[in-house]
Amino acid sequence: MESELSTNTRVATITVVSLLIGLTLLAAPALAGYVYDDLSEPVVSTTIGSDNSVVPGETTTLPITVQNEPNGTVEMTGDVEDIQAVVRTQGLTLGAASGAAVEFRSGDAPVEIKTGQRNIGSLSPGEMHSTSLTLEVDEDAAAGTYRVPVDVSYSYVENIDAWVNDPSDRINTAVDDYDVHRETVTVTRYVTVEVETTAQLSVVDTESMGLYEGADGRVSVTVRNDGTESARNAELNIVGSNQIESHTSSVAVGSLPPGEETTLTFQATANTDAAGQYATEFRMRYEGENGQVARTNVESGQVAVRTGPEFELSARAESLHVGSTGAIELTVRNTGARPATNARANVSSVGPFAPVSNSVTLGTLRPGESTTVRYRLEVGGQALPETYSVPVSVVHEDIYDNPVTATENTVDVAVGPETDFAVTDTARTQVGSTELITYTIRNTGSGTLDDAVARVNTNSPFETDDDTAYVGELAPNETATVSFTVSTGGSATPKSYTLDMSIKYDNAFDETVVTDVQPAPIEVAQPSDGPLPGSIVGGSVLVSALLVLVPIGLIAGLINHFGLLGRVN
């Protein structure tokens, strides 16, 4: 019961409300409606620039024009001024394509679209906007004409409903309410592209010959025309490679019809210091069938750069002493994988060394082969007897006879002390004598003295006509005895003197070398038994005369008187 009562109460309430609403509507004045129907719906078209040609394999940007060309009429009921008021107050443009945007699709065309959606904005009737289309044509695209779909989205005012309270009052008539209806559409338009008939370069194979780090070699490349027309008067170039530099600006191809191959060779340098496969780019310049000069796309191939000769060096010093000329015995071994043709080794002038000859020929060293050569070096007198690092570089020739320098190496070279000698004893002589004096000399250096000759230099109070003594070979630390004839003046003071002695010898290269001067001590003494003084000699002559002229007894008396016998003794 309670439920049925509640239901009846609700029904009664709704009925009363409905009656009240109906009475209210009957009492209200009727509104007059005006309708604007935009039968001039926007008609958007898309067109491409005059040059719509594209080339297989290339990425091209084409200019696109989007235009609104409505072709309908406007129909409306009611007063035009009422509709104009709505249009004016709402900032509407009748027949405009608002919020227009374009989006391109490849469709059946052999292209890849690179342009995303482009917003055009509002297109008033008759207005046009410019945009662009970027596309990449397939490398194997066949020549022909293709349509590229363009989806154009926009909205427009379809109709306007307006109401006024009293349409009979033309003076005070005003729009009391309105409703703007918009329609959003997407239409598909097309632009046409023309894929040209062209030659198309394809790299079939590449091969390198004699191409290694820092050397000139050959790059052989086989190319094919994968295009749709013959390449006439064609030339092939190497372009854009950091590791490989071509010495040939271009190589003539001649005529290359579609589908045919040809093999060409370039002289090139490997700029890299590492072996490996490096991408190298090629491009062909040619004349098309219409006589116009064209260029193909850049195509790349892998070019091998191989390892070159490598060297292992060792050295041994030979008669290398401070202040003299010696040599280093250099052994060079090719540890690389290819021959070193016409190789030579260069020694740099560094530190106390001055090479007598900077370069020595090694000949051709095949992998694993070695050779030993000798360098002559001059060692400065200011050098120290120690081990030095001497830079050595090995140069060889590539297949074009161009010099290729390997990485510089160093060898350790030991320099011995200066070749020298010492006088180990003292010669002795007497005042006023001419005598044969003798010295003992010792080789204090580290090298052998060959064909050595000792020489003394004298000055007052000494003189000599015999200033040289032959020594012969004198090994390190070996001694020899040398003798010279020296005259000592009678006015010499008995004391210690020094003569100058040097040794002239031949080194290991048969060059004559003279040592530094060394002191040779000599001791001068007063003679203990020598000839009588002049007065005594004169007295002896007198005695002899008296012995002849004077009797013996008288002579004896004179002797006793003058004491001559004591003076003589």
Shared fold status for 32-195 and 311-414: yes
User: Would you state the pLDDT for residue 3?
Assistant: 37
Which has more confidence, 534 or 520? 520
**Reading across the β-sheet that carries 44-48, which strands appear in turn?**
44-48, 59-68, 128-137, 111-113
Backbone angles phi, psi at 275, to 5 degrees: -75, 155
330 has pLDDT over 80 = yes
Q: What is the pLDDT of residue 499?
A: 95
pLDDT band for position 247 (50/70/90)?
confident
Architecture of domain 32-195: Sandwich (2.60)
97/95 Cα distance (integer angstroms): 7
Confidence of residue 537 (pLDDT cuts 50, 70, 90): very low
Q: Which CATH class is domain 421-525?
A: mainly beta
Query: Domain 311-414 is in which class?
Result: mainly beta
Which residues lie below 8 Å from residue 186, measured CB to CB, with a gap of 6+? Answer: 151, 152, 153
pLDDT tens digits for 389-425? 888 999 999 999 999 998 888 888 888 877 789 999 9
How large is the average pLDDT for residues 469-475?
A: 93
Residue 558: pLDDT band with limits 50, 70, 90: very low
Tell me how far CA of residue 191 lies from CA of 30, 46, 100, 118, in angstroms: 54, 7, 17, 15
Does pLDDT of 263 surpass 80?
yes
Closest-CA residue to 245 (of 264, 269, 265)? 269
Query: According to the model, what pLDDT value does residue 28 have?
Result: 38
Give CA 5 to chain center in angstroms: 103
Task: Give me the residue spans of the domains in the chain.
Answer: 32-195, 201-305, 311-414, 421-525, 534-568
Question: Average pLDDT of 170-196?
Answer: 79
Question: Is 432 a residue whose pLDDT tops 90?
Answer: yes
Which H/E stretch holds residue 95? none
Phi, psi of 536 (to 5 degrees): -70, -40
Phi (first) and psi of residue 289, to 5 degrees: -65, -20
Q: Is 311 helix (H, G, I), strand (E, B) or coil?
A: strand
pLDDT confidence band for 532 (50 / 70 / 90): very low
Residue with tokens 């002795």, as numbered in its chain: 428
* 0.75 surpassed by pTM: no
Instruction: Using the predicted structure, report yes or no on whether residue 238 has a pLDDT greater than 60.
Output: yes
Q: How confident is the model at residue 260 (pLDDT cuts 50, 70, 90)?
A: very high
Q: Is 1 a residue whose pLDDT tops 50?
A: no
Torsional class of 565: left (φ above 0), alpha (ψ -120 to 50), beta (otherwise): alpha
pLDDT tens, residue by residue, 32-85: 555 555 556 889 999 998 789 888 888 999 999 999 987 666 555 555 566 666
What average pLDDT is seen over the chain? 81
Per CATH, the architecture of 201-305 is what? Sandwich (2.60)
**What backbone phi and psi angles, to 5 degrees, belong to 406?**
-75, 170
Cis peptide before 461 (omega within 30 of 0): yes
pLDDT at 245: 86
Specify the pairing of strand 216-225 against strand 201-209.
antiparallel
If you average pLDDT over residues 210-235, what whole number do you get?
92
Query: Side chain identity at 488, as an amino acid letter?
Result: T
> CA 61 to CA 66: how far, in whole Å?
16
Give 448's pLDDT tier (boundaries 50, 70, 90): confident
Query: Residue 446 contacts by C-beta under 8 Å, 6 or more apart in sequence?
Result: 321, 416, 417, 419, 476
37, β-bridge pairs: 75, 159
Torsion of CA 121, 122, 128, 129, to 10 degrees: -10
Whole-number Cα distances in Å, 243 to 24, 221, 235, 341, 515: 94, 17, 22, 24, 57
Alpha-carbon distance of 361 to 346, in angstroms, equals: 9
**Residue 88 — very low, low, confident or very high, per pLDDT cuts 50/70/90?**
confident
Please tell me the predicted confidence (pLDDT) of residue 34.
53
Tokens representing 472 are 């012969």
- Mean pLDDT within 534-550: 40
Q: Is the per-residue pLDDT at 24 higher than 50? A: no
For residue 189, the one-letter residue type is R
Tens-place pLDDT, residues 483-500: 999 999 999 999 999 999
Higher pLDDT, 263 or 173: 263
27-36, 129-138, 453-462: lowest mean pLDDT where?
27-36
Share of the chain above pLDDT 70, in %: 80
CA 3/CA 93 separation, integer angstroms:
60
Which tens digits make up the pLDDT trace of 114-160? 999 999 999 988 899 999 999 999 888 888 899 999 999 999 888 77
DSSP string, 68-93: E-----EEE-S-HHHHHHHHHHHT--
